[in-house]
Structure 1
Amino acid sequence: MIFKHHAAAKWVHHTRRRSVRDAGGCVGPLVAITGSVDSRRSYEPPVREHARAAAAAEELGRELAVQGCPIAVYSARATFVEAAVVGGYVASGQARPGSIHVHGRYGRDDGFPEIEEFRELFDIRPEAAADWEVGYYSSLLTVDAVLIIGGGRGAFAAGMLALSRRIALAPVAAFGGAAEKTWRCFSKERCFASEDDLALLAARWHPGSAADIVASLIEQHRRRLDEREALARNQRHADRRTSAGLLIGLALLVLALAVIPLSYALQPKTVGSIATLVTAPLLAAVCGAIVRNTFDEERNWLRTTVLGAVAGAMTFLLFVAAQLVASPDILNGEGARRLIFFVLPVAFIGGLTFDAVFAKLRSEDATQTAPLGR
């Protein structure tokens, strides 16, 4: 495969000063370039239109530079599409300093012809390991998007990794190879791609395809960022609600505990003393429900609070009823004050474990319907 590196470099010589002067910083997603369209190699499925695929790679490189997308490449060998993409990228005259990230083996994969004249455009990050897989797969965990043209098993693995990471992906299926195989998987689990994006990636190559595909990558990346921002915003909102809920729960716990000294200030056998006995466990039950809600994935504060309050109240009433059966006069004297120390934790546990309480209440042995005996 022959790429027109020298012609590209000659053309860029006239625009080199402008591209460096105008370079501010790359604004687009970092796009990993992978694949090959070598006519001497067999692919599954087969690569079609080898020469046209190489030209398409150069067009895509030019468009990526125009749109301000930095690229990650792995080998300067002409058998891989990176050589053509880098050629088009540099030839665009829009490449920014350090926008071409070269992840290759030390002294073996960074021999791009454009480096000699346009060294400032390249950010070479050599790998000490002798295996190409080390730099290849590790960098795929840091990129924002993956572009596949043709390719074999390594390119297909990159596509699957992109799908698992749910990042922007553009398998150019028109030329076959791993890109077509990846596109078939992509169409079933397209992450942030739309139906139009999938149709675009499967269409025959035509003038304007490069611009459309790069625009699709950028749009997919934007949707991903929007989702991440929405998730982060929802998480911040949930954290604020959780913090507010816990503060309310703490205040309710303090109020419930404050009922204990208040009960000693009231005379036994009065409405006030009975009211404190009822109010304290209800506050503790709501506190337990709020604490429980912080551990649930679906945090429905109103539902949890109501259910916790009901469960705590029922638990409290059943506990007091059992005490009245054993000691009918327990509410008439000092026993009512001592009872508060027991009903507070009972109600709190009832609110904390309201699902278990309701399961017990729904079971056959939750209540006794037979007359009480001595």
Structure 2
Amino acid sequence: MSAPTVAVVGSLATGRSYDPPLRDVAVAARAAEEIGRELAQRGCGLVVFSSDEGFIEAAVVRGYVRSGLARPGSVEVRGPYRAGPTEFPEARAHPELFDTRPEPTPDWEVSFYRVLLHVDATLLIGGGRSTFIAGLIALSRRAAVAPVGTFGGAAEKAWHRMHGEPDAASEEDLSAMVSTWRPGSAEAIVGSLLRQHERRLSEQEQVRRQAAAETRRRAWSLLSALVLLTAGLAALPAATAWRPGTWAAVTLLVFGPLCAAMSGALIRNVFDEVGEWLRAAVFGAAAGGLSAVLFLAAQLTTNPNLLQGDSAARLGYFVVPVGFAAGLAFDAVLTKLRGTDVVRTQPVDATTTDGRAAP
């Protein structure tokens, strides 16, 4: 599993109000450094927005660089061009670790929220409205997020929201995010981010495999439809080669529309994106076969000797399209057949010719 890139969001600045209020600001700053060190040890990358000491990025980057494990270009600095302090003190001694990417827009919110749509994970500590929104974005994307709610601020609100999301994180991880800070808390927070990220990658891989399997099923379904349609059309010239009235000639008159019906049903199934192509083929065969037989029965009713003459072979040019159309609309055909009253069940009014009741 590749290590995620973590967006660092939050603030611990004094002199501003937080809802809920901040708690243990000094401990929170130290916790941010410890989390930064742990992120470097786990090989994670950072996405930061400001070097202002009022934001948690400064403390996280400080711990990240001091770990001595940061990789070149692993600290991605994003922010509006010339719109705020983005030069971290650590960049003077270790410029190779920083990848500064100024945003062309002067509006910090545009660049800030746009970046959050693409990061792998989000770390929240303290903060206000934008921190809470960052947490909601991560939750809506089902991306990994760690709101360290034990220090208050919007991160605590995001933790409450995360607690209501099914399968967002384990109960153990959620408890670690609001427990009193102690040795090992940073490992628990970063471990939660990595587990969430691994689960998201697993879900994406499962979706990719399902999409690939569905693509293969569609391809096989369409290939089967082509083969069946070819077989149905091939029955037309084959029927002319047999002597009219023989069992082989009659069989071809049924075999042709039956194959065409299954072909139509499979094509319909691909367009509807149902996926149950075997079920569609059986239903299409039933609808097309019965429609073709009923068509032949109707013709034989008016001309009982129809299958004995040369015109019997020409019937295939009618029954094959009938079968294909019935297979293409098999649901409507079967519904119609199910609603047909084949046997009349109402009582017969037994009367004589002169109107009197029969004895």
Match of 1:197 in 2: 173
- Of residues 174, 177, 193, the one that matches 2:150 is 174
Matched with 1:67 is: 42
Once residues 163 and 288 of structure 2 are traced to their aligned partners in structure 1, the CA distance between those partners, rounded to angstroms, is 51
Partner of 1:331, secondary structure, is helix
The structure with more radius of gyration: 2
Deviation string 1:282-314 (CA, Å, 9 cap, x unpaired) is: 111111122122234441232222112112212
Worse-matched range after superposition: 175-184 or 61-70:
175-184
Corresponding residue for 1:308?
A: 284
> Deviation of residue 321 (structure 1)?
2.7
Aligned pairs, how many? 344
Q: Distance in 2 between matches of 1:47 and 1:334?
A: 95
Deviation per CA, 1:270-289, whole angstroms, max 9, x where unpaired?
A: 11110000100111111112
Structure 1 residue aligned with 2:350: none
| Deviating more after overlay: 310-319 vs 72-81 | 310-319
How has the CA–CA distance of structure 1 residues 366 and 180 changed in structure 2, closer, same or farther, with 3 Å as cutoff? farther
Deviation at 1:134, TM superposition (A): 1.9
Using a 3 Å threshold, how does the CA distance of structure 1 residues 190 and 200 change in structure 2: closer, same or farther? farther
Match of 2:31 among 56, 69, 76: 56
Superposed counterparts of 1:33-48, under 5 Å: 33-48=8-23
Identical amino acids, percent of aligned pairs: 51
Determine the structure 2 residue equivalent to 1:244: 220
* SS state at 2:286 partner: helix
Return the match for 2:78 from 96, 100, 103: 103
Contact 1:81–1:149, Cα closer than 8 Å, also in 2:
yes
User: Is residue 2:301 matched to residue 1:330?
Assistant: no
Structure 1 residues 1-374: aligned runs within 5 Å: 27-107=2-82, 108-363=84-339, 365=340, 369=344
Q: Distance in 2 between matches of 1:89 and 1:292?
A: 57
State the Cα distance separating 1:56 from its structure 2 match.
1.0
Q: Does the Cα contact within 8 Å between 1:127 and 1:134 map onto a contact in 2?
A: no
2:185 partner amino acid: S
CA distance, structure 2, for counterparts of residue 328 and residue 368 of structure 1: 24
- C-alpha separation between the residues in 1 aligned to 2:212 and 2:20? 47
Shift of 1:72: 0.4
| Structure 1 range deviating more: 295-304 or 35-44 | 295-304
Counterpart amino acid of residue 36 in structure 2: G
* 1:295-350: CA deviation from partner (whole Å, max 9, x where unpaired): 34441232222112112212222322333334333333233222211211221122
1:228-278 CA distance string (max 9 Å, x none): 112212222222232222222211111111111111111111111100001
Say if 1:192 and 1:349 are closer, same or farther in 2 by CA, change over 3 A.
farther
Contact residue 217 and residue 275 of structure 2 kept, 8 A: no
**Following TM superposition, by how much is the alpha carbon of 1:128 offset from its aligned partner in structure 2, in angstroms?**
2.4
Question: How has the CA–CA distance of structure 1 residues 336 and 45 changed in structure 2, closer, same or farther, with 3 Å as cutoff?
Answer: farther
- Kindly state the Cα deviation for residue 362 of structure 1 after the two structures are TM-superposed: 2.6
Higher mean C-alpha deviation, range 208-217 or range 341-350: 341-350
Q: In the alignment, residue 340 of structure 1 is paired with which amino acid?
A: G
Letter in 1 for 2:254: V
**Retained in 1: the 8 A contact 2:162–2:168?**
no
The CA RMSD measured in Å over matched residues stands at 1.9
Q: Deviations over 1:172-219 (max 9, x none)?
A: 111122111112221222455223222222322221111111111111
Structure 1's 27 and 237: CA in aligned 2 closer, same or farther, altered over 3 A?
closer
